Amino acid sequence: AQSVTQPDIHITVSEGASLELRCNYSYGATPYLFWYVQSPGQGLQLLLKYFSGDTLVQGIKGFEAEFKRSQSSFNLRKPSVHWSDAAEYFCAVGPTSGGGADGLTFGKGTHLIIQP
């Protein structure tokens, strides 16, 4: 069965500093990979997704992620964080066959705290 591991439950970063959130997945084939962000009391917003092709994908709000097949990783990065980036971040994996038919498997999330 597929699984997603986000090793860091909480991360604290100073405003203006760079950010990397880790995500490792276990899947039998090449999956679809996603990063979602959730602000307090809100739903999930898609930051970026990887389906195929270029392993470095650009997303909204200045985020990017790199798919590394050899490491089964899909880490999220941002060169300079803003206070508004404080939120919960979820990595998710989905099947390539049949698109999203079986739903996404989510990691447990990383809570990002921004220090002034």
Partner 1 sequence: NAGVTQTPKFRVLKTGQSMTLLCAQDMNHEYMYWYRQDPGMGLRLIHYSVGEGTTAKGEVPDGYNVSRLKKQNFLLGLESAAPSQTSVYFCASSPTNGRAFFGQGTRLTVV
Cβ 78 to partner 1, closest distance in Å? Answer: 21
DSSP 16-64: TS-EEE--EEE-SSPPEEEEEEE-TT--EEEEEEE-SS-SEEE-GGG-E
Number of residues that bind partner 1 (CB under 8 A): 29
In the list 27, 109, 112, 114, the residue contacting partner 1 (rule: CB under 8 A) is: 109
Nearer to partner 1, 12 or 80 (CB): 12
Is residue 44 involved in binding partner 1 (CB under 8 A)? yes
How many C-beta atoms surround the C-beta of residue 82 within 10 A? 12
- For position 28 contacting partner 1 by CB under 8 A, the verdict is no
